[in-house]
């Protein structure tokens, strides 16, 4: 990339000198070398990959397609470049100004590769054998994937190999139960404390409840709360769709029938747990909700555990949780922030079987493991990480997954109680200006001016304040109207409910701006005045 990188410093210099350069031109100049007049397509694509934005990123699909359309040459002049970046200004600005949550993503992934290589050397443990199908998986396989809340991704090893989620489904089922039934109702039937016992122990707490949603008894209980009014097939379809939404629909979510049958045929302990809790109900204690179909509930639980994903998918699911329940690629709100807070709290204290306390103490990051070898790690407001390696320790956690987490925790200051200024650990995240309200308003104004509706929706889901004004008293609605962006104007009026009467310093309202355009379609968007 050119050494004259476009950033906030150069922006301020231009402003001081009263030099007005269109944002598209600044992008173009960013890729120009001193002796060039055009920019190379490949240079742009390489820069995207280095910064963690992969080819299948749906937010950049049209941008990449535009580049492909211009096939006459491997270079672009300014007008061609303007065509390519149309409607992508906001996300490209974030990428090329290194404003993503991990600004130096290439250096960060170099460290991750080193951690992967070190943890690969650990050949301890063995595949689980109480589910016969899992014992047949090649134990040498090992994959790691990372996805940040901005959609930066990196995959290593067997990241595309599918495996069953097993207990990694438990926090997702719990989250869905919270989202649909509410915290108070859910915790009428399941507790919040670590059990201090094995994950499949025939044991309830003093109130007659499963200790928490992440042990088998608690997971069976929360599964019973998932859309009980629906037919069994519809309940399972609901969960499959949920996993698709959590992963941004970038990959196909699978189901392993062999694992399901194998798990069901060897589930005596889980059947015993369910009947134990059902007996509690018969004795007029808490137990299951009234009219729970016990065998359907168990079947749905086994099906949940048999959903198939890979680390690429699981890292996006984890990133959605890290992003407060909003998928980084679609901007869709899957879970509320309150639900995510509760889920991550339980994951931190109960997510790693009998190793949970030690994991919280040493690594201090919410995580959940499964006996297929998967580990889902959530770093709130930063990223999701997924590892998969079938060899397990005696507790049931992936040996290489735990080793990766230990090395990762020693390298980076992501422990929940790490001092951010601890010089002994690396801090790869960008400074907190990204969450600053003034910066968010800058993003809103830019997106409104450029007509980037999708980015505005993402900012809205992040609870950005749309009702601010710039130094001229102009709102985002003023800017959208003056640029004749019909869809953005409609969104700001009808969804955001922006003030259409707000006057700027020239005493013009958004409605008066619309009249100036003489665009009748735009004018008609405003309520009768």
CATH number, domain containing residue 161: 3.40.710.10
Tens of pLDDT along 47-70? 999 999 999 999 999 999 988 887
Whether residue 35 is found in the same domain as residue 149? no
Whether residue 149 is found in the same domain as residue 215? yes
Task: Give the Cα separation of 170 and 166 in Å (integer).
Answer: 8
Q: In CATH, what number is assigned to the domain containing residue 42?
A: 1.10.238.210
Domains identified in the chain, total number: 3
| Helix segments in 363-467, DSSP class H | 399-411, 437-450, 453-461
User: Do the beta carbons of residue 325 and residue 337 sit within 8 Å?
Assistant: yes
Whether 1 maps to a domain, the answer reads no
Contacts of 65 (CB under 8 A, 6+ apart): none
- Give the pLDDT of residue 421: 63
Give CA angle at 36 (53, 46), nearest 5°. 15
Which structure tokens are listed for 135?
């014992």
Order of strands, sheet of 143-148, starting from the edge strand that comes earlier in the sequence: 153-157, 143-148, 383-388, 374-379, 367-369
3-state secondary structure of 298: helix
Boundary-marking domain end, from 396, 411, 426? 411
Whether residue 289 is found in the same domain as residue 336? yes
Tens of pLDDT along 498-514? 999 999 999 999 999 99
User: Do the beta carbons of residue 337 and residue 381 sit within 8 Å?
Assistant: no
Q: Residue 22 belongs to what domain range?
A: 8-96
Whether 116 maps to a domain, the answer reads no
Whether residue 250 is found in the same domain as residue 373? yes
Q: Of 382, 354, 13, nearest to 212 (Cα)? A: 354
* Three-class SS of 266-326: CCHHHHHHHHHHHHHHHCCCCCCCCCCCHHHHHHHHHHHHCEEECHHHHHHHHHHHHCCCE
User: Do the beta carbons of residue 387 and residue 367 sit within 8 Å?
Assistant: no
Q: Of 503, 500, 497, nearest to 465 (Cα)? A: 497
Whether residue 371 is found in the same domain as residue 283? yes
The beta strands (E) that lie in 149-243 are given as 153-157, 163-164
Give 3-state DSSP helix, strand, coil % of the chain, rounded to 5.
50, 10, 45
Whether 87 maps to a domain, the answer reads yes
- Give the pLDDT of residue 431: 47
The beta strands (E) that lie in 374-518 are given as 374-379, 383-388
Contacts of 11 (CB under 8 A, 6+ apart): none
Name the one residue in this structure whose structure tokens are 């807070």.
341
Q: In CATH, what number is assigned to the domain containing residue 476?
A: 1.25.40.20
Whether 117 maps to a domain, the answer reads no
- Give the pLDDT of residue 21: 66
Boundary-marking domain end, from 51, 81, 96? 96
Whether residue 63 is found in the same domain as residue 198? no
Whether residue 174 is found in the same domain as residue 264? yes
Whether 422 maps to a domain, the answer reads no
Q: Which residue ranges in the chain fall short of pLDDT 70?
A: 1-21, 33-35, 71-72, 196-200, 202, 280-285, 420-423, 430-438, 528-529
Whether 118 maps to a domain, the answer reads no
Task: Give the Cα separation of 269 and 276 in Å (integer).
Answer: 10
Whether 111 maps to a domain, the answer reads no
Q: Of 213, 148, 217, 171, nearest to 376 (Cα)? A: 171
Whether residue 449 is found in the same domain as residue 386? no
Whether residue 348 is found in the same domain as residue 246? yes
Q: List phi, psi (to 5°) of 411.
A: -85, -40
- Give the pLDDT of residue 93: 84
Whether residue 223 is found in the same domain as residue 172? yes
- Give the pLDDT of residue 2: 39
Whether residue 72 is found in the same domain as residue 207? no
- Give the pLDDT of residue 178: 98
Whether 120 maps to a domain, the answer reads no
Whether residue 330 is found in the same domain as residue 362? yes
Name the pTM for this structure.
0.84
Boundary-marking domain end, from 53, 73, 96? 96
């Amino acid at each position: 990339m050119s050494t004259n990188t476009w950033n906030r410093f150069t922006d301020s210099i231009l402003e001081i000198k009263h030099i007005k350069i269109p944002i598209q031109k600044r992008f173009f100049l960013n890729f120009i070398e001193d002796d060039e007049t055009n920019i190379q397509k490949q240079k742009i694509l390489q820069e995207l990959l280095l910064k963690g934005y992969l080819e299948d990123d749906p937010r950049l699909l049209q941008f990449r397609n535009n580049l492909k359309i211009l096939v006459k040459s491997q270079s672009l002049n300014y007008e061609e470049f303007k065509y390519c970046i149309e409607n992508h200004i906001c996300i490209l600005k974030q990428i090329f100004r290194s404003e993503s949550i991990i600004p130096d993503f290439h250096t960060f992934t170099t460290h991750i590769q080193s951690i992967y290589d070190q943890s690969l050397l650990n050949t301890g443990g063995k595949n689980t054998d109480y589910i016969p199908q899992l014992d047949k998986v090649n134990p040498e396989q090992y994959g790691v994937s990372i996805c940040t809340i901005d959609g930066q991704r990196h995959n290593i090893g067997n990241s595309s190999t599918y495996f069953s989620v097993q207990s990694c489904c438990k926090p997702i089922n719990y989250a869905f139960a919270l989202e649909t039934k509410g915290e108070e109702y859910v915790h009428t039937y399941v507790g919040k404390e670590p059990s201090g016992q094995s994950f499949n122990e025939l044991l309830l707490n003093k109130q007659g409840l499963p200790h928490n949603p992440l042990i088998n008894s608690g997971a069976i209980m929360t599964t019973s709360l998932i859309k009980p009014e629906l037919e069994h097939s519809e309940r399972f379809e609901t969960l499959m769709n949920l996993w698709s939404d959590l992963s941004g629909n970038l990959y196909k979510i699978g189901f392993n029938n062999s694992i399901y049958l194998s798990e069901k045929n060897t589930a005596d302990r889980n059947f015993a747990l369910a009947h134990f809790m059902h007996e509690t109900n018969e004795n007029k204690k808490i137990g299951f909700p009234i009219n729970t179909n016990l065998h359907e509930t168990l079947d749905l639980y086994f099906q949940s555990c048999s959903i198939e994903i890979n680390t690429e998918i699981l890292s996006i699911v984890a990133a959605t949780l890290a992003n407060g329940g909003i998928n980084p690629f679609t901007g869709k709100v899957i879970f509320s922030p309150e639900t995510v807070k509760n889920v991550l709290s339980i994951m931190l204290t109960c997510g790693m079987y009998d190793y949970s306390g030690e994991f919280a103490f040493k690594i201090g990051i919410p995580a959940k493991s499964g006996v297929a070898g998967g580990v889902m790690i959530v770093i709130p407001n930063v990223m999701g990480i997924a590892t998969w390696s079938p060899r397990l320790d005696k507790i049931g956690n992936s040996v290489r997954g735990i080793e990766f987490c230990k090395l990762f925790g020693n390298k980076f200051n992501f422990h929940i109680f790490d001092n951010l200024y601890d010089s002994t650990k690396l801090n790869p995240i960008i400074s907190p200006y990204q969450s600053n309200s003034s910066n968010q308003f800058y993003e809103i104004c830019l997106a409104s001016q450029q007509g980037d509706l999708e980015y505005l929706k993402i900012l809205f889901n992040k609870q950005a304040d749309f009702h601010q004004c710039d130094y001229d008293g102009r709102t985002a609605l003023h800017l959208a109207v003056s640029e004749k962006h019909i869809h953005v104007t409609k969104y700001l009026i009808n969804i955001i409910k922006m003030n259409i009467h707000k006057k700027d310093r020239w005493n013009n309202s958004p409605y008066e701006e619309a009249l100036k355009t003489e665009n009748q379609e735009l004018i008609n968007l405003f309520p009768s005045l």
